[in-house]
């Protein structure tokens, strides 16, 4: 990165929006995947779309790579800076542009926090459905880039189901409007591919979201099981009964104990707990809740807790959402994995993970979105013990291969980013990846927009993914992981 280029950026958007101090730039050297670090050549903090365009145009003219970053809570290194590039930090673009209740829409800038959207519309009886566990501190721009999910996506889908339109700056600086505010916009579904493209196609500067009415009734149940098989069977029975709960979450003994140590949610000491939440029309919820209770009993569920009020529901969810951070109480370090399996294959995959636990000697905690088969195994290790970090990483990789063996996916919600780009050939053929590249070059022929992410490259894949360490925001208690 030449100082002439940085001077040029200052001329175009003003020096107060440009960070060139090497010390200050360290703030941005990683996102939530702190094992990957790289100081950006320069960082910019635009406040307007014109500034974003000016920066991207400058990059385009000078062939300088650029990476957009939101709150930096991502867990796959999607916002890892390029050492010779510009980091476009979107946090100052955090205005709520329009709240349109009659149309059940809200338009926000990308730096607006996920939970803030719901806060803004809650007085009208609405909410924004996608709820990643980091929703207090993660921004909508990052949610769009990663197609974020959350505990409730079993019933309500992911970010892609709730974004109707986006204003975006293409990699040549052109401003475009993808999708719109209406439910359909004619043309190729560019929005469908932009959402989840991990910042590799454009820089999003405004987003129109669909709002949902608060359901009339919400009921939450927690049940304990003497084996993860029983809990898994209960999940299967719920699905077979034709019930789609808002959420079904499972925790195993390791993570239950960790959560209990950290936030005392009052979970039973069991091999597994299930948290099942139903929402919707009151009569429907009531009838289905009875079915859930019966299914739990049939599968030897015990210690059933039914949330009587919002406070108790909040406590149950706090226990679930604290599970990741809580692992810090039982292990000095841990590697968090994000894999997906067909939900019916849960028992066999868990058995393989348990065998791996015994063989490797490392403790593996399991928390998962059981309803949709999204696993988050937590591989515990001690940095102080020689070779354990490497072993943990091998174990985490091994678990991914179990997911792929049963037809699953490398990632359900954390993204490929820099972390898993080298794993992509395990899931996709060269032709699959080349087809995706055709989309990439249609948007970004120069390959300047968040390069070295998502796709395997020799430069990238010579490096080895590192172990998990707590993100500064997480360590400070500001964030939790899904």
Partner 1 sequence: MHDAEGRRAGGAADAVDGVVPRWVAEPASQEGVARTLTQAAADGHSVLVQGGGTKLGWGPRLETIDVLLRTGRLNEVVAHRHGDLTATMQAGTTLAATNERLGQYRQWLALDPPDSTRATVGGILATNDAGPRRHRHGAPRDLIIGMTLVRADGVTAQSGGIVVKNVAGYDVARLLTGSFGSLGVIVDATFKLAPLADASRTVVVELSDAPLVAAYATDLLSRGSTPAAIELATDPLRVILKFESLESVTAGQAEEAMALATSHGGVGQLLDADAQDQFWTGHERRVFAEEGTLLKAVVMPADLASSLSWLDEAAASRGLSYVLTGQAALSVLHLRLMGPAEQQAALVSAWRERLTLGRGSVVVRRASAELKALTDVWGPLGDTFEVMREVKRRFDPRATLNPGRGPGGL
Characterize the bridge pairing of strands 333-336 and 339-340.
unpaired
Least distance from C-beta 184 to partner 1, angstroms? 5
Identify residues 229-258 at the interface with partner 1 (CB under 8 A): 236, 239-244
71 neighbors 92 (Cβ within 8 angstroms) = no
**Binding flag, residue 450, partner 1 (CB under 8 A):** no
Please tell me whether residue 298 binds partner 1 under the rule CB under 8 A: no
Chain positions 315 to 344 lying near partner 1, rule: CB under 8 A, are 340-344
Q: How many Å apart are CA 261 and CA 314, to the nearest integer?
A: 17
- Using the structure block, give the residue that is written with the tokens 């989840």: 196
Rounded Cα gap, residues 128 and 104, in angstroms: 10
* Position among 11, 95, 177, 351 found at the interface with partner 1 (CB under 8 A): 177
Contact present, 313 and 220 (Cβ < 8 Å): yes
Question: Residues 211, 215, 216, 221: what is their CA dihedral angle, to the nearest 10 degrees?
Answer: -160
Using CB under 8 A, count the residues that bind partner 1.
Answer: 92
Binding of partner 1 at residue 126 (CB under 8 A)? no
Q: Does 464 bind partner 1 (CB under 8 A)?
A: no
Q: Which is nearer to partner 1, 160 or 378 (CB)?
A: 160
The single residue among 24, 216, 269, 390 that binds partner 1, judged by CB under 8 A, is 216
DSSP assignment letter at 456:
-
> Which of 11, 95, 119, 281 is in the footprint of partner 1 by CB under 8 A?
281
Interface pattern 389-418 for partner 1 (x via CB under 8 A): ------------------xxxxxxxxxx--
Burial class (CB in 10 A: 0-12, 13-18, 19+), 107: buried
Contact criterion met (CB below 8 Å) for 393 and 425: no
Binder among 180, 268, 303, 347 for partner 1 (CB under 8 A) = 180
Choosing from 8, 84, 104, 271, the residue that interacts with partner 1 (CB under 8 A) is 104
Smallest distance from partner 1 to CB 397, Å: 15
Q: Considering only residues 153, 203, 295, 349, which one is a binding residue for partner 1 as defined by CB under 8 A?
A: 153
Instruction: Report the length, in residues, of the chain.
Output: 482
What pairs with residue 379 in β-bridges? 335, 364
Q: How far apart are CA 209 and CA 100, in angstroms?
A: 10
CB of 87 closer than 8 Å to CB of 38: no
SS3 154: helix
CA nearest neighbour of 204 among 70, 80, 332: 70
| Residue among 14, 215, 268, 447 that touches partner 1 (CB under 8 A) | 215
Residue 303 touches partner 1, criterion: CB under 8 A: no
Q: Which is nearer to partner 1, 146 or 393 (CB)?
A: 146
Cβ 76 vs Cβ 101: under 8 Å: no
Stretch that binds partner 1, among 264-272, 275-283, 327-335, 467-475 (CB under 8 A): 275-283
Residue 90 or 190 having the CB closest to partner 1: 190
Site residues (CB under 8 A) for partner 1, limited to 346-375? 369, 372-374
Binding to partner 1, residues 44-103 (CB under 8 A): 100, 102-103
């Amino acid at each position: 990165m030449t100082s002439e280029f940085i001077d040029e950026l200052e001329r175009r958007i003003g020096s107060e929006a440009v960070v060139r101090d090497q010390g200050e730039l360290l703030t941005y050297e990683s996102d939530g995947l702190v094992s990957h670090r790289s100081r950006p050549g320069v960082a910019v903090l635009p406040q307007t779309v014109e500034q974003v365009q000016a920066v991207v145009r400058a990059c385009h003219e000078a062939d300088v790579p650029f990476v957009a970053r939101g709150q930096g809570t991502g867990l796959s290194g999607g916002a890892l800076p390029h050492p010779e590039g510009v980091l476009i930090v979107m946090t100052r673009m955090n205005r709520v542009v329009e709240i349109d209740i009659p149309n059940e829409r809200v338009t926000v800038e990308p730096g607006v926090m996920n939970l803030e959207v719901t806060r803004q519309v809650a007085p009208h009886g609405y909410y924004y459905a996608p709820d990643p566990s980091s929703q207090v501190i993660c921004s909508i721009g990052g949610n769009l880039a990663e197609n974020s999910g959350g505990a409730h996506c079993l019933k309500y889908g992911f970010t892609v189901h709730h974004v109707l339109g986006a204003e975006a700056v293409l990699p040549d600086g052109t401003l475009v409007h993808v999708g719109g505010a209406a439910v359909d916009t004619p043309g190729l579904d560019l929005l469908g591919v932009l959402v989840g493209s991990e910042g590799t196609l454009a820089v999003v500067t405004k987003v129109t979201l669909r709002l949902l009415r608060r359901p009339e009734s919400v009921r939450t149940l927690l049940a304990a099981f003497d084996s993860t098989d029983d809990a898994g069977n209960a999940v299967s029975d719920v699905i077979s009964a034709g019930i789609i709960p808002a959420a079904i979450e499972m925790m195993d003994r390791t993570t239950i104990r960790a959560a209990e140590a950290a936030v005392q949610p009052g979970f039973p000491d069991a091999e597994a707990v299930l948290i099942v939440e139903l929402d919707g029309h009151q009569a429907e919820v009531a009838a289905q809740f009875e079915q859930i209770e019966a299914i739990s009993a049939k599968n030897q569920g015990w210690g059933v807790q039914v949330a009587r009020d919002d406070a108790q529901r909040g406590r149950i969810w706090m226990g679930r959402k604290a599970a990741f951070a809580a692992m810090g109480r039982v292990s000095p370090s841990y590697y968090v994995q994000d894999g997906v399996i067909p939900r019916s294959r849960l028992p066999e995959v868990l058995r393989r993970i348990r065998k791996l636990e015994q063989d490797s000697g490392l403790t593996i905690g399991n928390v998962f979105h059981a309803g949709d088969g999204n696993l988050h195994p937590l591989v515990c290790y001690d940095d102080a013990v020689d070779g354990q970090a490497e072993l943990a990483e091998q174990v985490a990789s091994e678990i991914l291969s179990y997911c792929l063996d049963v037809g699953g996916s490398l990632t359900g919600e954390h993204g490929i980013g820099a972390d898993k780009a080298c794993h992509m050939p395990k899931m996709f053929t060269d032709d699959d990846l080349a087809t995706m590249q055709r989309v990439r070059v249609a948007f970004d022929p120069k390959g300047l927009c968040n390069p070295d992410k998502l796709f395997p490259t020799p430069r990238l894949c010579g490096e080895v993914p590192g172990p998990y360490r707590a993100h500064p925001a997480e360590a400070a208690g500001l964030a939790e992981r899904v």
